[in-house]
Structure 1
Amino acid sequence: MPPDEARLASAVMQPHVLAGRPPPLPHRRRPIPLAVRATLWRTRFAVAAVFLGIAAACTVQALRPADPPTTPVVVASRPLAAGTPLTSTDVRLARFPVGVVPDDAPTDLDAVLDAATAVPLTAGTPVLPGLLADDDVRGPPGTVVATVRFADPAVAGLLSPGMRVDVLAATAEGGPGGVVATRALVLPVAQRTASAQSPLGLGGSGDDSVPVLLAVSPDEAPALAGAAASALLSAVVVP
């Protein structure tokens, strides 16, 4: 190819030659450190927010007060009805802050096994001694236990431990009855022989020797004892 034609072909392939401009510089990749710095600069606000969040979380963790000391306490592992003999499946250990645990709260499961509940317990309730009826048959704190025989022997079998009853006393002549105990708590009876049970389980059909144990206030106990000797007693279940 003649020299003139070669130069013309080169000019067509390279437009910058026809335009009188210098040839473009060859493309070179940006160095990695420079690219990293550019990326960090563009995202500087997001990076600063992340570091501020980490610093705040560390500060809160450092300033949080230490957890208070705890101690194990025996609690009911499921809802328990009054009069339930406690077994290992009925109770468990739960940790409570030391400052809120009563001094007489049991911390060992063996301390409450084989005892019976005097009142219904919900799951998670601490099993305190005042909520149990042991062999000595005790009521809640501030009460005394009275033995009552109602005029209708079947009442002994119809009342369940944990019920609250008002005790009414009426004269044998049919006079109006008076209230001798209010909201008395029915306690579980430690032993009730088969002879005291009627075929239908109504607790003493024809046998008025089956007693009902009631937890009453000390002021009500004398009136209840006097009425038992001279009046006919009946029970009214109350909330």
Structure 2
Amino acid sequence: MQKTFLAIVSLFVLVSCSEQKSTKNFVLNGNIKGLKKGTIYIQRIKDTLLVPIDTIKIDGDSHFVSEFDLQSSEMLYLFLDRGVTNSVDNNIMFFAEKGTMNLETSLDFFTADAKITGSKNQELYDDYKKVMSRYINQDLDLVEKKFKAFKAGKMDEVSKMEEEQKGILKRKYLYTTNFAVNNSKYEVAPYVALAEIYDINLKYLDTIQKSLSPQVAKSLYGKKLNQFIAERKKIEK
């Protein structure tokens, strides 16, 4: 009888613990292979500054869990304080959304090895970055060629390459606009508009804003985009 009573009590405790964990609407399961000791900070941008949401101490086990309430899908930052060693490779951006996400990487190639799953916004943003990286590489190639042409005094070639760079920039902006419109049901749409093409002609930002689904329009970045457009319209009157 006593054993049965203890079993029921244990079950009640387990259920209670499970219920407590489910009160947070966002869970990040992570693993940084090779990390033995350090501090992880989950951060968000507030008033142009990075502010911490959660702090996790790593001591022996490279696995970690971060749980908190997320009001809206948002680009967050995982910062690693390695403790004994300094590195510029210590910050990973990830597009958080309600539910459970997973983040795996390694200590040696912290940013390059990062694999993030569990977020549709993150999946779309990864696709976006792949395309954008091609434009960035094309521009970098032109920068190198332009520098060599400038040193050789070939100013006609320099002018030609500058025009090519303008063409690349135009394609980047048009691609971003189309990406945002085609993915208007996700918060990544207003995010890329604000982060990547904030200085584009207002008619394109208007097009993006009007294409947003009602839910996304009410999200963090949807509201910010609407506010930004209104402020630009006042300035450009």
TM-score (norm 1): 0.22
Determine which structure has more spread, i.e. the larger CA radius of gyration. Answer: 1
Q: Which has the higher helix share?
A: 2
